Amino acid sequence: MKFAIIAAGEGSRLLREGVGCPKPLVKVNGETLIARLLRIFHQCGAEETVVIVNRLHPETEAFVRQLMNEQTYGPIRLVTKTTPSSMHSFYELSPFLQDAPFCLTTVDTIFREEEFADYIRRFRDSKADGMMAVTDFIDDESPLYVGTDADLRITAFNDSNLGDRYISGGIYALTPKALPTLRRLMREGQSRMRNFQRGLIADGLHLQACPFSKILDVDHAEDIRKAEEFLRGASAGSHRADIAPTA
């Protein structure tokens, strides 16, 4: 199984708020966001992790190349290209994801490691075409709601809450069957990952939801503190989803 990291965003909100390094190099509890993901993926048995970074922040590329030379986190393939959206970044990574199941996420996704390891085990044991991380913790400026049936099969992705318990956590475990949908949407001029997810449903792929207690994105300077508290288990007032079995 392969893993993929989209680390090509500009991180403009963090920069405007005084964070002086590119988002992939932001540290949470002393570990850069990108090194944290590479470590976790390596521990989950990644045969290769494919990373895309932009040309706007050469220090990010240099950092990843250093990790590649050290070989601490297993095989890493690096793509350097500035793209207009996460879906364009995914498209640039897709040629390297055609021969094995893979898990894709953005560099700023924060989750509990034990929940992620369980999620990957479930996906590997599943017959589904994809398994999406979901959470009932909502701390997002524009959440994508996930419709599910009683067996946690995903039936819809909604911009507003239509009685849905979960929102998308932005972590996608997929088989290569998902890539024709990506190519079709790119030809149509689509550019949002939520439309990619809707496209998977429209194309008849079997997607399962896997609940996490909480998933955070580091979009603002304040999110760094929230992420550190969450990972230390000290996030006041947080609530967790029931970790339900998947079909």
CB 45 within 8 A of CB 115: no
The stretch 49-70 carries a mean pLDDT of 96
Q: Which amino acid is at 215?
A: I
Mean per-residue pLDDT over the chain, rounded: 92
pLDDT of the residue at 113: 96
Q: For residue 243, give every residue at least 6 positions away whose Cβ sits within 8 Å of its Cβ, in sequence order, or none.
A: 115, 118, 211, 212, 213
Q: What is the pLDDT of residues 41-58, one digit of tens each?
A: 999 999 999 999 999 999
Q: For residue 124, give every residue at least 6 positions away whose Cβ sits within 8 Å of its Cβ, in sequence order, or none.
A: 1, 101
The kind and range of the H/E element at 221 are helix 221-231
pLDDT of the residue at 85: 95
Q: Which amino acid is at 78?
A: L
In the predicted structure, residue 238 carries a pLDDT above the cut 60: no
Residue with tokens 């029931």: 242
Helices (H) and strands (E) counted in the chain, each on its own, are 8, 13
Does this model's pTM top 0.85? My answer is yes
In the predicted structure, residue 244 carries a pLDDT above the cut 60: no
Q: What is the pLDDT of residues 139-185, one digit of tens each?
A: 877 899 999 999 999 999 999 999 999 999 999 999 999 999 999 99
Q: How confident is the model at residue 247 (pLDDT cuts 50, 70, 90)?
A: very low
For residue 88, report the phi and psi dihedrals to the nearest 5 degrees: -65, -40
Q: How confident is the model at residue 232 (pLDDT cuts 50, 70, 90)?
A: very high
**Pick from 177, 179, 51, 151: which is nearest to 107 by CA?**
51
Higher pLDDT, 79 or 12: 79
Buried b (16+ CB within 10 A) or exposed e, 77-106: eebbeebeebbbbbbbbbebbeeebbbbbb
Q: What is the pLDDT of residues 172-218, one digit of tens each?
A: 999 999 999 999 999 999 999 999 999 999 999 999 999 999 999 99
The kind and range of the H/E element at 4 are strand 2-7
pLDDT of the residue at 14: 87
